[in-house]
């Protein structure tokens, strides 16, 4: 079975049901399946005409229906789909294409200027008025590739390292099918659901949300670009049952609702799902007050590992600082530096075992072996501890840990305390090299516009919540922070900039 297998049944059983509603664009399950099948036929035909070619297709498309048609058409035919990020620079696009070496490249006309004619890939320029005109072939009777197995890879995504250089990860049909089954059990989705996907499909969380909805035969409500006003408009226009967002989106949504005095306490939203970063208890309370009838779910995962834990309504009430218990079908283990299980409540490195994990990094065996360790266990080197009820608490990333005079300091713990200050917009804690202590705790902070706070006030605040050795010894003010392509702060790049600026003085 493939992630596309149910589509033909939906095309027959519910041909006129809306599969995707993208505002000005709408498509039924019959139409959607026809387009997906056409793309699959084309790719199968291309492969037969070019048997030496690898089966990889990259595409740069906006958040439109065509994005999902290409993605699933490739999956149906046994190809690997490689979504490219419109936010990437021409240099980033060029390097990515050189690394993943697709045989085909689909580009929306609006992005045509981002590519030179010297591209080694065969390029197809997608026109929005008739997007698949160039994919017509002489015969449509060849059928799709019947030899495709659920072990085949179908998706290549990108996860950024601290340097900002993305690593390409590869997923199999089976890994997502197992994730779909876990989502069905954990979230109780139904075929009748309208699922709002307000974020960019190039990010795996939102892509997964949309593809899973189509796999269930539900209706995807798709935004071309996130904005809190567009989300509010959707909620006022559709009977939305489920919404996926990341914590920053929820913050923007609840703030806009307050400003506009939008009240949706009676709105029948059933499930609210958050991922991508730890969802603060304060933000959860705001969302719960705005949508009191909805169940709040937070899930922790990684591009390489898929779902790891889930924090449902009960966990949110009792253990809001946790990231939840193990997701369906997932085993957790906390181990010390020698690979031995630690006692309940002790901090160690998190290991995961499940059928949801990725196949590896593309052409990067060393990094793959750094994640896929042995006996089916995998780790992205997060540090945490598990309580007596099996709930996981994260303390940070192993690579971020600061060692001050032999004592471990987890930057994320210190950042969380600093961000409690109303004047602070962002805080990043780094380990500054020190000849005596090894590393000293240094905080890089950005204050909110129009607000001020002294270094002394920040340090006094930290001492109320943290041991003295965890408190920042040095403060640096900064106007802008460097980010990776996935929107996370590039810690190594930030430290390099600080050290470079000091050496120039």
Tens digits of residue pLDDT in 40-51: 999 998 888 888
pLDDT at 143: 47
**Average pLDDT rounded to a whole number, residues 309-315:** 94
What was the pLDDT predicted at 272?
96
> What whole-number distance in Å separates Cα of residue 370 and Cα of residue 357?
14
Spatial separation of the C-alpha atoms in residues 361 and 167, rounded to whole Å:
7
* Whether pLDDT at 388 is above 90: yes
Closest C-alpha among 397, 412, 400, 402 to residue 473: 402
What contacts 24+ positions apart, CB below 8 Å, involve 457-466?
Answer: 457/421, 458/418, 458/421, 458/424, 461/417, 461/418, 461/420, 461/421, 462/414, 462/417, 462/418, 465/417, 465/420, 466/413, 466/414, 466/417
Sheet holding 392-397, edge to edge: 331-335, 348-353, 382-386, 392-397
Can you name the residues that pair with 57 across neighbouring β-strands? 81, 104
Query: Which range is least confidently modeled, 51-55, 130-134, 352-356?
Result: 130-134
Residue 114 per-residue DSSP state: G
Structure tokens at 197: 């996907």
Arithmetic mean of pLDDT, 75-81: 96
Whole-number Å distance between alpha carbons of 425 and 366: 37
89, 165 Cβ separation under 8 angstroms: no
Task: Give the DSSP per-residue string, 432-471.
Answer: EEETTTEEEEEEEEEEPTT----HHHHHHHHHHHS-GGGS
pLDDT for 95: 85
% of the chain surpassing 90 pLDDT: 63
C-alpha 225, offset from chain centre: 16
What percentage of the chain reaches a pLDDT higher than 70?
Answer: 93
Residue 136: per-residue pLDDT: 63
CA distances from 450 to 256, 422, 425 (A): 20, 12, 11
Task: Estimate the share of the chain in helix, then strand, then coil, as percent rounded to the nearest 5.
Answer: 35, 25, 40
Of all helices (H) and strands (E), which one includes residue 273?
A: strand 271-274
Rounded average pLDDT over 142-171: 75
Please check whether residue 59 is in contact with residue 106, taking contact to mean a CB–CB distance below 8 angstroms: yes
Q: pLDDT-derived band of residue 139, with 50, 70 and 90 as boundaries? A: very low
Q: Which of the residue ranges 216-220, 311-315, 438-442 would you say has the lowest mean pLDDT?
A: 438-442
């Amino acid at each position: 079975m493939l992630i596309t297998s149910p589509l033909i049944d939906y095309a027959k059983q519910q041909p006129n049901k809306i599969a995707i509603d993208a505002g000005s664009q709408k498509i039924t399950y019959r139409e959607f399946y026809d387009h997906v099948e056409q793309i699959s036929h084309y790719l199968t035909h291309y492969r037969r005409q070019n048997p030496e070619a690898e089966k990889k297709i990259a595409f740069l498309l906006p958040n439109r229906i065509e994005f999902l048609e290409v993605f699933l058409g490739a999956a149906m035919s046994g190809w690997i789909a490689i979504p490219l990020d419109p936010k990437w620079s021409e240099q980033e696009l060029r390097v990515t294409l050189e690394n993943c070496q697709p045989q085909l490249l689909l580009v929306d006309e609006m992005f045509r200027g981002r590519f030179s004619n010297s591209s080694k890939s065969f390029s197809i320029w997608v026109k929005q008025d008739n997007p698949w005109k160039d994919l017509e072939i002489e015969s449509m009777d060849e059928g799709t590739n019947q030899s495709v197995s659920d072990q085949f890879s179908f998706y290549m995504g990108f996860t950024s390292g601290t340097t900002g250089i993305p690593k390409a990860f590869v997923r199999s049909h089976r890994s997502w099918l197992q994730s779909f089954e876990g989502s069905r059990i954990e979230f109780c989705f139904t075929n009748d659901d309208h699922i709002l996907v307000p974020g960019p499909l190039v990010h795996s969380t939102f892509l997964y949300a949309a593809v899973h909805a189509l796999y269930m035969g539900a209706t995807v409500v798709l935004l071309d670009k996130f904005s809190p006003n567009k989300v509010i408009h959707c909620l006022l226009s559709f009977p939305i049952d489920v919404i996926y967002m990341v914590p920053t989106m929820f913050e923007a949504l609840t703030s806009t609702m307050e400003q506009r005095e939008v009240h949706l306490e009676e709105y029948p939203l059933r499930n609210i799902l958050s991922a991508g970063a730890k969802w603060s208890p304060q933000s959860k309370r705001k969302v719960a007050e705005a949508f009191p009838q909805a169940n709040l779910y937070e899930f922790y995962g990684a591009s390489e590992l898929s779902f790891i834990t889930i924090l449902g309504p009960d966990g949110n009430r009792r253990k809001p600082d946790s990231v939840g218990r193990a997701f369906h079908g997932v085993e957790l283990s906390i181990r010390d530096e020698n690979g031995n299980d630690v006692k309940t409540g002790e901090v160690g490195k998190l290991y995961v075992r499940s059928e949801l994990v990725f196949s590896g990094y593309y052409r990067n065996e060393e990094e793959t072996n750094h994640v896929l360790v042995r006996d089916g266990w995998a780790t992205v080197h997060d540090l945490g501890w598990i309580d007596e009820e099996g709930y996981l608490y994260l303390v940070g990333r192993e690579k971020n840990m600061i060692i001050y005079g032999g004592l471990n300091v987890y930057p994320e713990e210190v950042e969380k305390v600093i961000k409690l200050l109303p004047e602070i917009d962002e805080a990043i804690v780094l380990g500054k090299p020190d000849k005596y202590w090894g590393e000293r705790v240094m905080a890089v902070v950005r204050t909110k516009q129009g607000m001020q706070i002294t270094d002394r006030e920040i340090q006094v605040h930290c001492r109320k919540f943290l041991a003295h050795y965890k408190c920042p010894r040095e403060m640096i003010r900064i106007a802008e922070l460097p980010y990776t392509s996935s929107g996370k702060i590039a810690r190594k790049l930030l430290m390099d900039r600080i050290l470079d600026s000091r050496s120039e003085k």
